[in-house]
Structure formats: C-alpha cells, structure tokens
C-alpha cells in the first residue's frame, strides 16, 4: 500500500522546484514548446514513454505491467498574456515570471508540477497498483483553438480505452491544505460570441438615410436583458455579459459597422444550449428589423464541468480517509469554464479544487490578476488528493450508472473558432 502522505511530503521540495521553473518560464496558448520539452524530459527520466500531439500537448503512458483500469490524469500547461506583479496581497512573491507580459496567473504551473510529482510517485511504486495511467498535459486551455480536441481524438483513433478521469484546478478562495470536491457542476459552461454588424454610414443630421448598426445593437442588447425572466428557470444559474463593443469615432457620423463580443455562463448544459439557439434567432430578427447584416466572428460553446456522482462518492471518501477529516471544503460552483468539461463528458470522472489561499503569505488574489499567487504547501495536499482518488479508482473500479457519454465530435464541433461567416 502506497503511503500517500509520507511520499507526497518527501517530494515537497521537488514539487516546489517544478512549480517555480514553470512559473518563471511561462508560454502562451499554442506556444508551449519549451514547456513540453521540459515535461517530456522529466517523464523520460522516470522511464515513462511520451507522445507529442500537434496542437494538443503531451501524453505520458504509465503501465503497472498488470491488467486493470486505465485512468486519465490531466494538467493544462498554457499561461496568460498578463504582466505579473512582483507583489502578492501581502508582499514580495517567492517567484515571478521572467517573460514580460506573460504569466501563469491562473495556476497552470501548479497543475503541471502536481501531475509530474504524481507521475513520479506512481512510477516508483508500480508494484502497489494495477492498471495503467494516461498522463495528459494539455495545450491551450485558455485561448484560441484548444488542445483538448486533438488529445481526445488521438485516444479514440488509437483505440486507447480510458475507464475514468481525474482533473484538478488550484483555487484562490480555498485555504491551502484543503480540497473542494462537490457533486454535479464544479464549473460553468461558457458560450463565447463575437459579431460584426454591417449597416450604412451617414451623417447625424440625416439619420434616416443611414442604417445604424448602433441602433441595431442597442435593441438587441435590450431584448437580451429580459431573456432570463422569459426563458430561464429561477433555480438555474445563468449569466450573460458584453465585454466589448466597438463602433465609430466621431460624434456626428453614424458608422457603418459595429463589433461586439461577450459570454454567457451556465451550470445546466441544456439551458446553455437553448440560450445559444435563441441568441442567434433573436439576432436574425433584430437585423431584419433594422436593415443590418451580421457576420459571426466567434461562436464557441463549452459544456459545464460536471462530476460523475459515483466517482464523487468515492473521491470524497478517499480524500477524507487520506488527508484527514475536515479536509473537504464546501463551496458553490465556480462560474469560470474549463475544457476538462469535454473530457469529463467523454469518460466518467471527477474534477476537484486544490486550495492555495494563505493570508499570511499573501496568496488569495483572484485568478487572471497580476497579484495572483500560490501557497506552494497547498500543492502537496493536491498531490495527496489526486493519488488518493486515482488509486481508489484503480482499486475499486466503481460502476457509474449515472454517467452518460456524449459524442466527442459533436462537442468539439461546438468549440471550434472557425472562419468568419455570415449569420
């Protein structure tokens, strides 16, 4: 039997060194070449064979040599276009990005460090577990053409069977040493939209000779404000916002174009899908009323990240038994979105939040902010939780009658950025 807490504690210094290496050398989405080189080198030193998937990431395959379940463990690897502050909420950070304008302001450096540490412990104790581990280091979780599609397609094309999956995310509001693992949706789904209206320019003194894309947009935006009351169940979490509106630069000239973009967030995938359909229907109607045409620049739909009930039962029990009673932290779902949602609709699994908040150290700033920082001691607990859950999966092989596998290609088609197209 693997002594999880003892082994994780023994790797604490190595875990911290890994995190600081990744933190000092961040790379943006679809540019993580040096990061993948480093990951492959670390896995090779452990005797773990790897495969690099173009525009996807790196797989490592760890086999105990005995038959059993196959569990996928995932870490995302990209950074953000954010200039990091050298200060956190209390003082100077222990480690700062060395790349101007780029930083691991979401915590993916911690995710990579934890998964490599978990791989090290599992590889050095293969006699204590049966089955196979698929290590998935995923590119571009944050922006653009995400890496999850090429990665999961590879597993299907190569007929690599996966029985269950594990993922985690460091969480700014969960105290270090604690772990959150809830039933149902852990994170929201997200619908990303970007649209360009085309009208007809004109002078403000003769607006009837123009076709104003601004009037078209304001009517569309107003109509959307009542959508929640008209179409969303009161007990369902849903939010929608515009993050960008650009049109014109002169007060007395009506512009001929307007571009807007935003997102909707939802915990219920049917609710999110219905909003997406109604969004485009309403847009067509408003364009017809105001004489504009519309060009769709972005239409991406990601499902919510939903834990499998039976896996959650098992995971909560395993975490408390291994890390101690009171380790589990209860919280509401995070309304951010995650590409692991697609993995978790392909295989039954669980997604957990690893606590990294420590007021004394100054960690606790929100994700995607310059002050974001990690209490690295929390990563040790993250390793313990991951190993507790994955080793229990391999040992108990829980049946998951509540799981409903979704078609991978249908999900991936909705996530594609694609080319601009007329509405």
Q: Is 233 helix (H, G, I), strand (E, B) or coil?
A: coil
Give the whole-angstrom CA distance, residue 292 versus residue 259.
13
Token readout for 244 is 């960008």
Residues 84-124: tens digit of each pLDDT = 999 999 999 999 999 999 999 999 999 999 999 999 999 99
Under 8 Å between Cβ of 361 and 88: yes
Give me the pLDDT at residue 226, please.
85
Parallel, antiparallel, or unpaired: how do β-strands 132-138 and 57-63 relate? antiparallel
Q: What tokens were used for 121?
A: 């412990």
Query: Which residues in the chain land under pLDDT 70?
Result: none
Residue 86 CB partners (closer than 8 Å, separation 6+) = 92, 93, 96
For 157-216, give the DSSP string.
HTT----EEEEEEEEEEEETT-EE--SEEEE-EEEEEEEEEE-B-EETT-GGGSB-HHHH
Tokens of residue 40, six digits: 């492959």
Burial of 415 (0-12, 13-18, 19+ CB in 10 A): buried
Domains of the chain: 4-186+304-409 (3.40.630.10), 189-302 (3.30.70.360)
Q: What is the pLDDT of residue 144?
A: 74
- DSSP secondary structure string for all residues of 63-104: E-SS---EEEEEEE--BBS-PPPSB-SSSB-S---SSTT-B-
The maximal CA–CA distance of the chain, rounded, in angstroms, is: 82
CA dihedral 135, 28, 20, 34 (to 10 degrees): 70
* Beta strands at 179-180 and 349-357: parallel, antiparallel or unpaired: antiparallel
Q: H or E stretch including 253?
A: strand 253-254
Average pLDDT of the chain is 96
3-state SS assignment for residue 265:
strand
* Predicted local distance difference test score (pLDDT) of residue 419: 82
Report the C-alpha gap between 130 and 184 in whole angstroms.
29
pLDDT in tens, 165-200: 999 999 999 999 999 999 999 999 999 999 999 999
The Cα-based distances of 222 to 239, 271, 291, 370 in angstroms read 15, 20, 18, 34
Is 367 buried (19+), middle (13-18) or exposed (0-12) by CB count in 10 A? middle
Residue 123 DSSP class: H
């Amino acid at each position: 039997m693997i002594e999880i807490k003892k082994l994780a504690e023994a790797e604490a210094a190595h875990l911290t060194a890994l995190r600081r290496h990744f933190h000092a050398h961040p790379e943006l989405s679809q540019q993580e070449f040096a990061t993948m080189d480093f990951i492959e080198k670390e896995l090779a030193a452990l005797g773990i064979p790897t495969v690099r998937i173009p525009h996807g990431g790196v797989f490592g395959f760890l086999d105990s040599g005995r038959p059993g379940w196959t569990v996928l463990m995932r870490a995302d690897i990209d950074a953000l276009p954010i200039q990091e502050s050298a200060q956190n909420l209390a003082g100077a950070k222990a480690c700062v990005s060395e790349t101007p304008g780029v930083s691991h302001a979401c915590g993916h450096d911690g995710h990579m460090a934890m998964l490599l540490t978990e791989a090290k412990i599992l590889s050095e104790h293969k006699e204590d577990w049966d089955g196979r581990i698929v290590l998935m280091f995923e590119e571009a979780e944050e922006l653009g053409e995400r890496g999850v599609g090429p990665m999961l397609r590879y597993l299907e094309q190569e007929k690599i069977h996966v029985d269950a999956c594990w993922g985690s995310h460091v969480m700014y509001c969960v105290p270090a040493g604690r772990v959150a693992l809830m039933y149902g949706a852990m994170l929201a789904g997200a619908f990303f939209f970007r649209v360009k209206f085309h009208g007809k320019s004109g002078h403000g003194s003769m607006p009837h000779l123009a076709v104003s894309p601004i009037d078209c947009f304001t009517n569309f935006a107003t109509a959307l404000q009542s959508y929640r009351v008209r179409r969303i169940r009161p007990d369902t979490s849903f939010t929608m916002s515009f993050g960008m509106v650009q049109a014109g630069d002169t007060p007395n000239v009506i512009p001929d174009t307007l571009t807007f973009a935003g997102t909707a967030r939802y915990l219920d995938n049917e609710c999110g899908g219905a909003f997406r359909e109604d969004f485009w229907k309403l847009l067509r109607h408003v364009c017809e009323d105001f004489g504009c045409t519309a060009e769709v620049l972005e239409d991406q739909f990601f499902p919510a990240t939903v834990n499998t009930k039976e896996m959650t039962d098992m995971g909560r029990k395993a975490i408390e038994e291994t890390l101690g009673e009171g380790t589990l932290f209860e919280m509401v779902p995070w309304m951010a979105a995650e590409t692991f949602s697609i993995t978790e609709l392909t295989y039954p699994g669980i997604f957990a939040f690893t606590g990294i908040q420590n007021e004394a150290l100054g960690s606790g700033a929100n994700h995607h902010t310059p002050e974001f920082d990690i209490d690295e001691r929390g990563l040790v607990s993250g390793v313990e939780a991951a190993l507790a859950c994955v080793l229990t999966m391999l040992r108990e092989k829980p049946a998951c009658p509540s799981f409903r596998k979704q078609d991978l290609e249908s999900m991936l088609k909705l996530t594609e950025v694609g080319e601009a197209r007329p509405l």
